[in-house]
Chain A
Amino acid sequence: MSAHPASTSSSASRALGVLSLGGLALLLGYALVWSPADVVQGDAVRIMYVHVPTAIVAFAACGITSLASAMWLRKRSEGWWVLGGAAAEVGLVFTGLCLVTGSIWGRPTWGTYWDWDPRITSTTLLFVLLVGYLALRQVDNERGDAAQRGMRGAVVGLLLVPNVAIVHYSVDWWRSLHQPATITRLDPTIEGTMLFTLVLGIAVFSVVYVWLLLHRFRVGWLEERAGDRGIDQALIDRRAEAGVGSGGSQ
């Protein structure tokens, strides 16, 4: 019917893609040029306009994974399983970027790439939690049962939000005993163009996340379909072999 090559795109994803690109261009303008430098941090604050959004998206991704896991436990449908993995994988990318941009920001402002700041520490633990979740999803047990794999993944996925919450709270409390009053990561009295740029950054990166999630979800969905077809095809081949081997006709 259509001449479009088969892909994971749709009119919705194309619209989101255009919105993402346009938004990113606008954000770059504000972040790098039109917003002022900070009084204390200088131009290093411009990194915040990408760092803070990646942090927010990373934690939101976590929430989506937990929600998808809860829904899988109720409905046992494949879509929720695929969504959990897709949200976590894209979330992992954003978590990694959060750590990297945070580290890059830290060098000119604190003089060091790593600091046992509560947020870096708990974000790093979030990173490992997501890696573990994704690794668990890949593994089949000896019998390769999809329902078992689903249950394991769902329990760990569901526990992601409570784990992140407890870790975040304990690390925060732990470090708050040591933290001298230095530059905080983002001045709470931020206002004007800087506030606008920050909010724009959050909005734009959220749209980017959703676009990536859409594609990654469809990829995951196709993988499940292709996997099923692979099994069906293998069964057909096996039966064909057996039919030939016994010398009989079907």
Chain B
Amino acid sequence: MTDALVLRGLSKTFRAPAVRDLDLTVRSGELYALLGPNGAGKTTTLRMVAGLLRPDAGTISVFGIDALADPLAAKRLIAWAPDEPMLYDRLSPMEYLEFVAGLWEVAPDVARPRAEELLKTLGLWDERDRRCEGFSRGMKQKAALAGALIHDPRLLILDEPLTGLDAAVARQVKDLLQARVRAGSTVILTTHILEVAERMADRIGIIQAGELKAQGTLSELRDRTGEAGASLEDLFLELTGERDGEVP
């Protein structure tokens, strides 16, 4: 089966190198957690995959499509949900979903029932005609997630999807992501909540200073560090060398 995402030699420099010669593969149908300290290059990497930044060097392949040569074809398969929801304050969730469905050319007779289903699943049905400007952070996040799912993407990329959400909303989002993976979609997410990655991710990549430090399942990472039974937090601190900063 074709891999969902293959990055080879990906590099991006702003004032300083943000991503350096990154090789990364995400298999089709898996939930992949990309972890790293602040400023490690996670978001820059994902923004390049989503077509928002042009890499200085390297290749991006999305389900076998060269995303740099044919960005529109790659974008059709991808949904990008950043940590700050991409919403319009003066549109209602239903109007927002109509707009996003139009951007991805989803036929109206398919998009409308899908929008209804998503809003009901995410608990936004009663708010469907209310403008987003009055929404809480969690409601905005859910509306944006519904927008990301309206075109049934094969590759869903989420940057910090659980930040600022209360326990109930976070649970809803996690359940929805796992349901997407069960249905065959591929999900890549970044998170600072390591327990989430530990419990949800099929494989984990740890990135630091723009370079991939380690990649694999939790047990593969444990084998690599030789710390049997260690938590992901321990492994993360070990692999990123940040254990030194711990309070004795």
Q: Do A and B come from one complex?
A: no
Chain A residues packing against B (C-beta within 8 Å): none
Chain B residues packing against A (C-beta within 8 Å): none
